[in-house]
Amino acid sequence: MNTNPHHYGIQNVNQSTDMMDHHIEEIRNQGYTIVDGGFSDEELKLYSRKLDLVYEAQKEEVGGEENLTSINDDNVVRCPLAYDDAFLNLATHSSVMTICERILGSNFVLLMQNGVINDPDKEHYQTRWHRDLNYQHWVSSQPLALSALLCMDTFSELTGGTRVLPGSHLKETFPSDAYVTKHEQTIEAPAGSILVMDAMLFHCAGRNLSNALRRALNHVVGVPILSQQLSIPDMLQGKHKNDPFLEKYLGYRWQPKSSVKEWRLEKLAGARKHA
C-alpha cells in the first residue's frame, strides 16, 4: 500500500495532522468512518445488560412487546439516557464529541439516542434503507448532522452489521436496485467500535444470521436548527441543566420559548452573567 502517493498538476491537497482529521476526511468523502471506542469487554457486557433492562421497562410502559411490534418499534430502545445515566457517558464519548465539534462547529445538540437490538429470529425494521434524517431528498454543502453508532457486539456479514452506500450523502436521490446491489458495503467492525456517519448517508441494518443478539446504540447529533425526535429536556426534567456543555448538548438551550417575554428575559440573564 502506497502511504505517500506521488502526484503532479495538483495544487490543493487536504492535510491530515492527526487521526481525527483522517476520520473527518473519510466522513466528508465516503460518508462514514470507524473509530476505536476504547471499551473493554466487561464494559460492553455491562452496557448490553443495561440496554436490555431499559428495553424491558419500555415494553412494560406500553403494555407489552406486541404493542411495539404493531407500530414497527420492537427491538428499539429509545433515549435510554433518560432511564440510566450510564448511557449519557456513551452519548458524550470524547472522540465523537471531537469529530462533532470539528465538523458541526461549537454548537450542536443530541437529536436522538436509540438502541437497536438485532434479533436473529426477527427481521428488524431497520433492515430497510434509510437516512437518519428521514424523508429528506436533498443535500447541503456542509454536514448538518452526524450519526455515531456504537457497536456493542461484533459487526459482520454474519451478525447483520450495518450496510452502507459510500458517497450517498452527496446525492439527493436513492439509487437504483442495480446500483445498490453492486455498491453496498457491509461494515466489519469489532465490538466497541463506533461507526460515525454523515446522517444523510443511506444505510440499513443487515440480516442477523448468527445465533445471538447484535446490539448497537445510535446517536444522531446535529446543528440546533434541527429538532429532537423526543424532548430530552422534558424527559430529564431539568437534570444536567446547570452543566454548561450538557445544557446545550441535551437541548435545554435550544428549546422554543413560550413567549416574547420569556425569550427576552433569558437573553438578559445571559448578558448579565457575561457582563
CATH code at position 195: 2.60.120.620
Handedness of CA 58, 62, 67, 72 (dihedral sign): negative
Number of domains in the chain: 1
List phi, psi (to 5°) of 197: -125, 150
CA–CA distance from 257 to each of 156, 224, 260, 272 (Å)? Answer: 45, 14, 7, 19
Q: Is the residue at 238 inside a domain?
A: no
Which pLDDT score, from 0 to 100, does residue 11 have? 64
pLDDT digits (tens, 9 = 90+) for 91-130: 999 999 999 999 999 999 999 999 999 888 777 777 899 9
Domain that holds residue 35: 19-230
**25: pLDDT strictly greater than 80:** yes
List phi, psi (to 5°) of 102: -70, -30
Distance, in Å, from the CA atom of 153 to the CA atom of 242, rounded to the nearest integer, reads 34
Highest mean pLDDT among 6-15, 34-43, 250-259: 34-43
pLDDT digits (tens, 9 = 90+) for 149-197: 999 999 999 999 999 999 999 999 999 999 999 999 999 999 999 999 9
The pTM score is 0.91
Q: Is the residue at 271 inside a domain?
A: no
Q: Is the residue at 164 inside a domain?
A: yes
Q: Is the residue at 80 inside a domain?
A: yes
Q: Is the residue at 9 inside a domain?
A: no
Q: Is the residue at 153 inside a domain?
A: yes
pLDDT, averaged across the chain: 92
Sort 176 into a burial class: Cβ within 10 Å, 0-12 / 13-18 / 19+.
exposed
Q: Is the residue at 273 inside a domain?
A: no
Q: Is the residue at 246 inside a domain?
A: no
pLDDT digits (tens, 9 = 90+) for 199-241: 999 999 989 999 999 999 999 999 999 999 999 999 999 999 9
